[in-house]
Structure 1
Amino acid sequence: MHMTLPQRMYLLMYTVDKKKFEVQNLQFRGQKVRAAALAQLLHGEFIGVRQGKRPKVVRQVSGAPGDSFLDEVWRQVPADNPQSWLNLLHPYAHTAESAVREQLAGTGEITIPPVRGLKKLSLLAQHEVRVNRPETVLAVREQVREPVLRGLEPADLPFDDLAMTALAAESDLYHVFSREERREHKKVLKAFDRHFDEKTSGLRHALSTSIQVLRPSGGGWGQ
């Protein structure tokens, strides 16, 4: 099954050997899911960037992408009032996961159990889903990790793989790459960041800013 970048980003944070989404990997996942959607829309020319000291994003008039979540994000980008990446990412990040979760449940990738009793009061209860095909998660992880571990040139990668690696590695707490791997492949990761920044002109910086704004207050939890 072909998955969108937001769907792949959602599943990437699943820990296969523990059969769950660990709490430390859920914080800021909404930001990354939303950023992945914006990256896919930009690459597909559904939105465009007006260059300047502070790049602005505007909706293109080519029509909706045809995926329910990407359509929603696309419609939230004004066609006549260019916005910063941060304005299109930060205010919406906390609701990004629920839409993608419903999509994955609809395709059978995950099962959403009913939330009962006192669990309804927990902010994390909705994330206690079952991943039905863990091999899909492992395949996504391999696509993100392999180019870095092999030292591949970012310019040689398809945009989707470049975007997943650059966005997933941003503020990652050693879930995607271990501490040792990040140290050993520091130059490669920086090269991926630079090439992604050339393609998206400010999106990764907006993701980093959104995370930094929320981290001191313990925010960044999605619905």
Structure 2
Amino acid sequence: MDDLERELRDLSAWLETPDPPEVVTRVRARLAAPKRRRWRYLVAVVSTALVVAALPPGRAALADAVAGLLRFAGITISTSSPPALPTGSPSPLPAQRPAGFDEAQRAVRFPIRVPAKLGPPEQVLVADPDSTGSHRVATLLYRGGALRLDAFDGRLDPVFFKQAGGPGTQWVQVGEEPAIWIGGPHPVSYVDRDGAVRVESARLAAATLVWQDAGVTYRLEGQLTVAEAVGIAASLT
């Protein structure tokens, strides 16, 4: 439970306390003070409930203490066990295809924004169209594909599933918004519209920053430091 308590203390920093704040204050005091064993389960349950209740829906991050899952902005991250490395060649996202920037913008239902620090992408991809032809994911590629920015509507069901173990996963900020940084290689898979993890899409991802802005989730992946990634994210135009 020590790891869980540490994660819950980190999450408590993102709480936007409603009025009256007495309950939140008491729970934060419990988290900060030395803990007796009999309080551990109570604090875990109450703190998780407060995260769900106090954060607005667009920024909500839900920690599942039992399954070891973190759900944030349309991405599910498993931290319960060491990640299993994918084998074989990963398949692309469903019905993925290249598109011109203007064509890609017409193909998705959210604005495609470009980081000013990177400039125009070398290639744009769209993937997973529905019955109306509206695509679920847009991807901007840079540096020969070694640096990628995925964008999708984070208010929809989960789109990516990640497995991340060790100390490399941490909360950071992009502007005033919370973000998650996964600082090392980790398996990532696509989650289809039925909620099933597409095992054949599993691949080893590089360091990744995940954040949300105006309901759109962004996933920046590449050989970057956390400071570089946050700077790129903050430059979206």
Scaled to the shorter chain, the TM-score interval is under 0.3
> Which structure is larger by alpha-carbon Rg, 1 or 2?
2
Structure with higher helix content:
1
TM superposition score normalised by structure 1: 0.24
Structure with higher strand content:
2
TM superposition score normalised by structure 2: 0.23
